[in-house]
Structure 1
Amino acid sequence: MKRLIIIATGAAALAGCGWTPGMRDRSELVVEPSPCAAKRFDVYFAENEARLTSAALQAIGLTATQLQSCDIKRVQVVGLASATGDVASNLSLSERRAVAVAEALVAAGWPTPAFELGAVGDAGATTVAGTNEPLRRRTEVVVEAAPRR
């Protein structure tokens, strides 16, 4: 009896492995995401610098290439700075960082009217415990894109 149960269980398991009518090819089931979706990326800078590094230019170029077939609706670029230095200097630095990134995106062919620039300086650069937030030397870029019609 035990042997009969084992054989029946094995046969049922093998039957489940067979081809099922109505099953479609994986390519019909899995849809690739549209390249024209919202994207967010950061561009990092050296300490007290607003000049784009080669890595930053690569990140900007990669995103521009990914979205070149899309209609760029809106681009938000927000510059940030670390807590090093005084408030006015950090605000100015974060503004220059936002402008540098926006200029690089415009040079890549993105429409100028789509840009919204902002700068927060060192606001939020220090934690509640009084320590500096890491990786504040950056801009945050949010892109809203749609397929071209």
Structure 2
Amino acid sequence: MAKLEKSIEIKAPVTEAFAFVVAEWEGDLSFWQGGVYDWEPSERPMGDGFVVSYLAKILGLGYRIEMSVQDFQANRGWTAVSRKGPETTGTWRFEALDGSTRFTYRLEYSMPLPLVGGLLDKLLLAPRWARIIDRSLEHLKILVERGTDR
């Protein structure tokens, strides 16, 4: 499995950063800067069992993925595990730091192309996903620190 982990410090209390990201999950995940399209959340409130379906698309490859939230802890984070589509796990963690928040996103995924998947991922996909995640976290930081949902 490929693994990517990125963190960012957000100058806002953990309760604000957490509430913002939960609202995004329940809405349209608009802070995300590419690679994720057609975000379709379930109608239940965010928590264990919350389901989201989306299209993961990068370098012309697109996969429909359905994720289920597990281990939800208010103001601490959650894990989302794929139920349909390529094997994927996303971990969203929030850590309080003297009035600020350290937000860490970890992505683990398997390439569905058996023989060339690992090479394709290492050379092309992983670097692209890393850039998308970096941009997304920077965008999240701006939005939360500005105190707006857009």
Q: TM-score, normalised by structure 1?
A: 0.25
Please identify which structure carries the higher helix content: 1
